[in-house]
Structure 1
């Protein structure tokens, strides 16, 4: 629900931002005529080689209008920047909410008596992350992986059963339909513009190749930092 609410709010803010951008362009177009008049007035003054009281009065009025137009455009741009800041904040909240999604199911809600340290441990232990393989130890049959979403490159040591390699190439629905997930199949999907996974059911497989690139290197894996087995 939190993710849906954030998505709805983001969509509303994007619509408002689009309107503000249009207003900025309209304001700029409206002020161009006044700026052109200022330029022409200066050209006439240079041609006549004199500054008469008439031109002084005219320029004073034109510059006053230009200043007001610039302040109006500035106000719209500041409002647009506020909207962008709100959107960035909501995107960060959605990223955090996406990471927490699936930590507790409806049938197993968190206990009120659970200590803070335990809750954080459960959050870490039941979270699917996107990671990159750093090394493999054949003696212990374990991988060292880095969480690609962490600035400090948090490193984990995991057994093979807790790692799901991502496909190296994108499947072509027209030539390799058997490689696609089928309808109603349970999968782990990525939230848009995040590295957070969630459990999902396939509604309909693709029928044609998407123009957007969507392939992964062999070293990138999806791994579970937990005691859960695949």
Structure 2
């Protein structure tokens, strides 16, 4: 019954998401005329090589309208992102419910039959599809802590669980949300499913970039591996202090 309810809600959300995407395109098309006017006004100013009171007043009005258009489009996009996040959450809840009930689809076989190469691919796909966080000025980050997944393997205390990021960070707008150079973290070692202690070598420069990290490794003279790339999704805070 829960699976049917989840499917119904997902279908409803997909319909709402479709409408929001249409609204985004309509809003963008409506704002293009104003942006074109801004461009033409600047071109005329360059031709006349002066900024008259007329152009100053006109540009002020055009930029005010452009700002309002951008905020309207941004609000629609935020609503769309919320819908996507809710859909992903429902899909995960549906997967867990199906697993508890002993139902497996052909697209998602039991983990015990999953080849390692397939698992590595799924990890990379999960990192690539992590939604980008678009924060408002002064807005703080919040995370949901999921303590267990249907008691399918282990039961752990809450203090022993470190949640993975739910959003990617844009370094250009929210650099304070990133780990900084030489900060101690736990990072997923490439081609494994294990997290190891590491130092940040370089944070991402663009939303699609990975962290460059130095894993602790006693086989190297300085105790750290060469720089390796790890997706934002698989770099989390380390609660232990750095080794002296």
Shorter chain as denominator, the TM-score bin is: 0.3 to 0.5
**TM-score normalised according to structure 2 size:** 0.44
Larger Rg: 1
Larger fraction in strand:
1
**TM-score normalised according to structure 1 size:** 0.47
Higher RCO structure (Cα 8 Å, ≥6 apart): 1
